[in-house]
Structure 1
Amino acid sequence: MCPKHDKPLELFCKTDQTCVCMLCTVLEHKIHELVPLKEEYEGKKAALGKTQAETQQMIQKKRLKIEEIKQSVDLSKEEADREVAEGVQVFTALKESAERGQANLINTIKEKQKTIENQAEDFIKELEQEISELEKRSSEVEQHIRISSCLMMENKFYFEVQVKGKTEWDLGVARESINRKEEIPLSPEEGYWSIWLRDGNEYRASDDPPVLLSLKSQPQKVGVFVDYEEGLVSFYDVDAAALIYSFTGCSFNGKLYPYFSPHDNDGGKNSATLIISPVRVN
């Protein structure tokens, strides 16, 4: 709620980078750039998800660099050992100067190897420090995403369903009053707001008529978000932090319940289970 006007915070002022109510826009933000709070949230969440992916990629590159350095040190040590062995063999044959020459050669090689190891150790420490900072930053991004998601879900309910390995499924929400005795089409008119998968790669939304969905990748976990007051049902690819489809302007008229269908086993092709996370309600 707006602390000044005791009104719901519905807009985001990009000029002042703050959440405002409708009264604030009239009194204090008339010439500022304003967007719906949900729109700003989705944009920030997508940006944070991209930052998270880039951070993880940087961490992986640093770790690979550490492995390359360690391998280089091992190869250098093997080469040093070989040089020591060859040097010992040569100077042993030179009777009078063998001991003095051998000692000098070993010391030179060992000093060279020590220098390489010290340089590698310093470089590894520097890379590990960078990894630590990147991991800390990644943790802060994850925490920010979790906090933002929780704040946006307060009125709002939300649950996640793992669909990995499935070739067919339905999921969404349905009215309490749906017809449970007859086979009816899945549509908002019949009290269903859902999406489904058929034949392993055909995704559709149960609108009227059904909408064919074009997805960049196959979701492994689907998030279902309902804003009852706004009449909104949205589906998300959780891992990609991407919107799959939204039903807008819905009229619910009563209680809503999660709706799931794992479909037939299909000879083992569709034997994976739907794994459902706890539903959050206000």
Structure 2
Amino acid sequence: MFTDVLTGKLDEVEKDLTSKLEILASQLDFVNTNWSPDVETIRRHAVNVTLDPHTVHRNLILSEDRKQVRHGELNPVLSDNGKRPKNYFGVLGNEGFSGKFYYEVKVEGKTEWTLGVIRKSVYKYLEFRPNIEEGCWTVEMKDGKYTAHADPHVTLSLREKPLKVGVFVDYEKCQVSFYNVEDRCHIYSFTGCTFTEKLNPYINPGGSDSVSLVICPVNATD
């Protein structure tokens, strides 16, 4: 009986390691392929992102220039306009994009954040973590752990903690990629995505601190 239990445990460990190796291999393949652009090329596709006050969760606070968002107390002035998610923090970029586009967000000092792109038509229905089946392509940092909201979710092992994260979409190639801007290195890519409409930048500062997420201007020659 003990032998059977031990064998079962070993099988579980082997399956887990195999799954992690497959994920790692797929991400390495993405980075090494000839059609994968470098970070400097990607940054040339930067778009001007401002945050949409009509989609901000009532517990989040936007800066006047709509370039920053942080967690705060429930704002009774904001109406339940049918465009805001009730049970999941977040705010959308004011404009949806297709083609190739890129934006950067400063995450320094944060203990929690979620970034990516979302189909605007599903945004107000979010109740739990965004997922690709709903048309959401996001990466999360929480409790020191990094997770790509793939199917199933992928735990990411990063060499360095990003201070600034870049999000790049190649609509024609059906890809959404994330980068550590300071280190100029790839974090994760969703590939083989199904896009049916324009995608809006999605930003979620979480509820565990009051530090702002900041949309940064992009200079391709930095």
TMscore range, shorter length: 0.5 to 0.7
Query: d(CA) in 2 for partners of 1:214 and 1:36?
Result: 21
The unaligned stretches of length 5 or more in structure 2 are 1-31, 48-98
Judged with a 3 Å threshold, the aligned counterparts in structure 2 of structure 1 residues 165 and 180 are, in CA distance, closer, same or farther, namely same
Q: Write the letter of the residue equivalent to 2:191.
A: T
Distance 1:220 1:243 in 2: 14
CA distance in 2, matches of 1:179, 1:153: 23
How many angstroms apart in 1 are the aligned matches of 2:185 and 2:192?
A: 21
Cα distance change, pair 149–180 in 1 and its aligned pair in 2 (3 A): closer
Greater length-normalized contact order (CA 8 Å, ≥ 6 residues apart): 2
- Give the C-alpha shift of residue 255 in structure 1: 1.4
Answering whether residue 138 of structure 2 is matched by residue 194 of structure 1, we say: yes
Question: TM-score if structure 2 supplies the norm length?
Answer: 0.56
Match of 1:210 among 139, 147, 153: 153
Question: Which of 223, 228, 237 is matched with 2:180 structurally?
Answer: 237
Secondary structure, in 3 states, of the residue corresponding to 2:111? coil
Taking the TM superposition and a 5 Å limit, the aligned residue runs for 1:43-58 are none
Q: Which has the higher strand share?
A: 2
Instruction: Work out the CA distance in 1 between the residues paired with 2:125 and 2:43.
Output: 37
- Percent of paired sites with the same residue: 46
Q: 2:129, 2:211 → 1: CA distance?
A: 25
CA distance in structure 2 between the aligned counterparts of 1:255 and 1:233, rounded to whole angstroms: 13
Which residue number corresponds to residue 166 of structure 1?
A: 110
CA distance in 1, matches of 2:173, 2:167: 15
**Contact 2:103/2:166 (8 A) holds in 1:** yes
Cα-Cα RMSD: 2.5
CA distance in 1, matches of 2:110, 2:140: 11
Between Structure 1 and Structure 2, how many residues are aligned? 137
So what's the TM-score if we normalise by structure 1?
Answer: 0.45
Structure 1's unaligned 5+ residue stretches are 1-34, 46-144
Structure 1 equivalent of residue 191 of structure 2: 248
Which residue in 1 is equivalent to 2:204? 261
How far 1:214 moved relative to its partner? 0.2
Offset at residue 218 of structure 1 (A): 0.3
